[in-house]
């Protein structure tokens, strides 16, 4: 029961940090399922969860800002009368590089609080959740 309560509280905290995605009608439901999936697969201790989820939320915020910045550049480039594809390609590569740098930064932060095994489980859970999500979408269609 204590484990369930801690997981529920941490899930709510994690959801609060992703509230800016409200333009997607199912965002909170998806995030809630994702967090439950990650919790189930990684099996954080209470201390690990208390340290991990704030970092995860911070990561999501930074990732979101990078994506928003790139999409704004892309939109602006496409709206102009003469599209500069070289500029758009450069922006894409810089965006991908920034995302990679962010991944590396948070990988190093996660390593400080999770064992190598749990960190591997986390990344596996991220990938497997995408598969679960795609399968649920396919079932609806």
The pLDDT tens digits for 65-88 are: 999 999 998 888 777 778 888 988
Q: How far apart are CA 102 and CA 64, in angstroms?
A: 11
Segments in the chain below pLDDT 50: 1-20
Other C-beta atoms closer than 10 Å to the C-beta of 29 total: 11
pLDDT given for residue 80 in this prediction = 76
pLDDT given for residue 5 in this prediction = 37
DSSP character string of 83-99: --HHHHHHHHHHHHHHH
Burial tier of 39 (Cβ tally within 10 Å: 0-12, 13-18, 19+): buried
What is the total count of domains within the chain?
A: 1
The domain of 126 spans 2-140
Task: Quote the strand ranges of 15-101, DSSP E.
Answer: none
């Amino acid at each position: 029961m204590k484990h369930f309560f801690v997981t529920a509280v941490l899930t709510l905290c994690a959801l609060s940090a992703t509230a800016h995605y409200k333009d997607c009608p199912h965002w909170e439901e998806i995030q809630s399922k994702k967090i439950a999936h990650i919790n189930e697969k990684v099996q954080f201790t209470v201390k690990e969860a208390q340290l991990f989820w704030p970092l995860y939320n911070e990561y999501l915020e930074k990732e979101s800002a990078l994506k928003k910045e790139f999409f704004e550049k892309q939109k602006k480039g496409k709206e102009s009368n003469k599209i500069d594809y070289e500029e758009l390609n450069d922006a894409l590569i810089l965006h991908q590089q920034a995302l990679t740098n962010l991944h590396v930064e948070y990988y190093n932060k996660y390593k400080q609080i999770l064992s190598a095994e749990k960190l591997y489980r986390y990344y596996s859970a991220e990938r497997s959740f995408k598969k679960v999500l795609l399968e649920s979408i396919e079932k609806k269609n």
